[in-house]
Amino acid sequence: MPSPASYSRNLAKAASRRLRSPLIAQLGVRHNSGNPLSKPSPTEIPNTINEKTTHFGFKEVPESLKESLVGSVFTSVSPKYDVLNDSMSLGIHRLWKDSFVSSLLPKLPPSMHSPDGNREWEPSFKCLDVAGGTGDIALRILDRAREKYGNRDVQVEIVDLNEGMLHEGVKRVANTMYYNTPQIKFTHGNAQSLPSHIADNSIDLYTIAFGIRNCTSLPAVLSEAYRVLKPGGRLGVLEFGKVNNPLFREVYRQWSFSVIPLMGQILAGDRDSYQYLVESIEKFPSQAEFAKLVQEAGFQTGELREGAAWTDYTNGICTFWRGVKA
């Protein structure tokens, strides 16, 4: 394993390349005090000799460094993130996300007013989409509420730790009918310690799609989700799972480790980041293990089995976990 000193040098180099996005500032993305994205300089790296470690892909790293390392990955991949998702999944990730949103969003009453006018507008249904920087899930929620139920009283707040991902989301929303409306907003923040303006018992629906496996502490993320949800509020986690067919599992694993990093190199000029993403899938808990963590955070999930606490998509390549705050 590379030493903490080598990690610190890599982090310092990455920090010197990162520029603050003017578009993010221009369009009013909310920032926390301080900058959890900023990378420590070599002199700021803590003494990690006795520090607890965690995984960064297949590497063991000090917990204090994982957030910065993951930040470097997503800063690198953000400009091509959606293109590579389509290429790597042959577009199937769109079907997974559609099913995820349609399963979570309850029936909503039609709106009496549009949020586009000058009248005072208050959302009747609040969603928090965490690690949702590109806006993929948020826009699906808003579209389904409008198209299925004629409802424009839904508000989605996107929270993401990576400014590159937020930048891509802002660009995407700028081309939709939701641009410059209070239905969608972007916030720079950490899933493990959500921004202070997101109050206890204030959220109707919490979603996190393909993001939680990159967090240092899964229990901390789930605890924060439980805190901000209203009683009866819904949790939805979409993430890569464990393939349940042994033969298909090995084929998928071989394909993942040989093809996905190569695609990253060809399409984005970045093999290492996609090697990490593949390794992070391998390190994520099994369906039952993660469902147990959801229960331990206080959520009601039903039985710890497929079809109750979770739903597998495409033989378990992707999994949707659900929970309800008691």
Q: How confident is the model at residue 85 (pLDDT cuts 50, 70, 90)?
A: confident
Q: Is 285 exposed, middle or buried (0-12, 13-18, 19+ CB in 10 A)?
A: middle
**Same domain flag for 131 and 277:** yes
Give the end of a domain, one of 47, 62, 77: 77
Whether 325 and 297 have beta carbons less than 8 Å apart is answered as no
**Is the domain of 33 the same as that of 109?**
no
Nearest partner of 162 among 29, 64, 260, 268, judged by Cα: 29
Tell me the mean pLDDT in the region 203-224: 98
Can you give the residue range of the structural domain that contains 53?
Answer: 4-77
Known binder of ligand: residue 25?
A: no
To the question of whether residue 190 is assigned a binding role by annotation, the answer is yes
Residues 319 and 273 in one domain: yes
Q: Does residue 161 sit in the same domain as residue 201?
A: yes
Q: What mean pLDDT comes out for the span 277-304?
A: 97
Same domain? For 69 and 88 the reply is no
The pLDDT, as a whole number, for residue 29 is 57
Q: Is a pLDDT exceeding 50 seen at residue 180?
A: yes
Clarify whether residues 113 and 132 are in a common domain.
yes
Each residue of 14-68: pLDDT tens digit?
333 433 434 334 344 565 544 333 333 333 334 455 688 999 999 998 998 999 9
Separation of alpha carbons 132 and 268, rounded Å:
20
| pLDDT score, position 4 | 33
**% of the chain beyond a pLDDT of 70:** 84
pLDDT of 80 higher than 70: yes
At which of 77, 108, 130 does a domain end? 77
Question: Is residue 262 scored above 80 in pLDDT?
Answer: yes
204 annotated ligand-binding residue? no
Closest C-alpha to 76, from 205, 209, 269? 269
107-116 tens-digit pLDDT: 999 987 778 7
134 carries a ligand binding annotation: yes
pLDDT at 117: 60
